Amino acid sequence: MALILLFAAASLAGQDRPSLPPVIVLTAKGPVSPAMSDYIRRNLGAAAARGSPLVVLKLDTPGGLDTSMREIIQAILASPVPVAAWVAPQGGRAASAGTYILYASHIAAMAPATNLGAATPVSLTGPGGAEDGPRAPLPVAPPRDDDSQATPADPPAAPPRPSGTAMEAKVINDAVAYIRGLAELRGRNADWAEAAVRRGESLSSGAAAAEGVIDFVAADLVALLNQADGRVVMMEGGPLTLATAGLAHEVITPDWRTAILSVITNPNVALILMLVGVYGIILEFLNPGVLVAGTVGGISLILGLYALALLPVSYAGIGLILLGLALIVAEAFAPSFGVLGIGGTAALVLGAVILIDTDAPGFVVSVPIIAGVAVAGLISTLIIARLAARSFAARVVSGAEAMIGAPATVLDWQKGQGHVWAKGERWQAIGPEVLPPQEPICITAISGLVLQVEPPGHAT
């Protein structure tokens, strides 16, 4: 009888288990960007609404934007659902911004053959920055056994000034304080976190587990859920014991909104959208009623400006791009035989080079795009200059100058003056002493409203 009761209880438990909400798995692959931030924040809210017991953030990133990283971390810290950051698949990494996200998560895990670290702010990794080697810490004077031996003539040596600029020191110290705060919150190795920022250190998955940087190494999702089971994590409402062993999981891949946001926030695409938008609107003003150019241009310009608003842009770069476009447009309306156009192209190229104010991976304008902008600007300038030269060499077909050499017919004539019919109008004319009516003649000059005419054979 007891065996029957135990079997029935196990059956009921097995029936209740699948009814629990599944573990939500999010995939964060590629640079930390506004699109990734939007994707994670939206789905953390959706997981909380569904009552999911855990969100697994499958992480594989080279780093990215500081603003997007901080948005993700703030969402994780405020999430009512515990978050397990898992660096996977094998061969993946959580570098730079990914290290901060890993430290902020309630559970930190890595797959074998993965790594994390190199969390020095990327704006300092140029010449004279973090990549030039670690900065030596300031020496601390040892305590003296006999303070009475110190005299004004023998003061302690002043510590050397740290290398680097004051701005570099501020950025480094801010990043160190941020990641140490996350490490202390989650009970992880804060000293190594500081080393990852100051000296760009990295660790493999096994070394990270040994150093107390992560909680454990998990080869797959099932192993992660089994090892997370029974662990106590600190939530806003207090400690929470995870019960994740054997739970079902649901992978939520980035949707169309994330895909579109990821495309338009690519600096290359944002630059192209803005250029297409400006050129389209200009074409619509030059040819009113085309509609297609204005519609495409308006949509492209709004998308480009929206993308630039999400990216760390340089206002000097935007100003140079707008100046370059204005000079190219001025070349079309007031041909300078290439002077304005070449200057505008140079401004466009310089603006594209400095447009994005960050060195984060995946957020630079590529050289081929800059070369394409330069070639397009030069081609436009050459076309405008050639059309201007042809217009200057072409015969005038309108205005008073167009009357010279035009044919006319004598209406009435007496003593070297009379009236002629030319260009569909009756004109007063002067010329030879005698011209018979209906005689074909040629206009040789014009003075005010009086034409100078000659017979065709005598016109020069």
Handedness of CA 158, 164, 167, 172 (dihedral sign): negative
Alpha-carbon distance of 114 to 196, in angstroms, equals 16
User: Per the omega criterion (within 30 degrees of 0), is the bond before 89 cis?
Assistant: yes
- Span 359-383, pLDDT tens digits: 777 788 888 888 888 887 788 778 7
> Tokens 């629990």 belong to which residue?
20
Closest CA to 164 of 120, 116, 118, 100: 120
Residue 398: φ, ψ to 5°: -150, 160
Write down the pLDDT at residue 373: 81
The pLDDT of residue 192 is above 90:
yes
> Tokens 């964060």 belong to which residue?
28
pLDDT band at 391 (very low <50, low <70, confident <90, very high): low
Tell me what the mean pLDDT of segment 332-352 comes to. 81
Long-range pairs, 277-280, Cβ under 8 A, ≥24: 277/301, 277/302, 277/303, 277/304, 277/305, 278/325, 279/325
- Cα angle value 113/116/120 (rounded, 5°): 150
Closest CA to 376 of 414, 328, 410: 328
Tell me what the mean pLDDT of segment 121-144 comes to. 42
The pLDDT of residue 136 is above 50:
no
Residue 422: φ, ψ to 5°: -145, 140
Strands 407-414 and 417-422: antiparallel
Write down the pLDDT at residue 14: 43
Write down the pLDDT at residue 431: 86
> What residue type is 293 in one-letter code?
A
User: Within 10 A of 422 (CB to CB), how many other CB atoms are there?
Assistant: 19
For residues 250 and 146, the answer to whether their CB atoms sit within 8 Å is no
Q: Which residue has the higher pLDDT, 380 or 197?
A: 197
pLDDT band at 388 (very low <50, low <70, confident <90, very high): low
Point out the least confidently predicted range of 47-56, 212-221, 333-342: 333-342
Alpha-carbon distance of 234 to 228, in angstroms, equals 14
Write down the pLDDT at residue 399: 61
- Span 77-114, pLDDT tens digits: 999 999 999 999 999 999 999 999 999 999 999 999 99
pTM: 0.70
β-bridge partners, 50? none
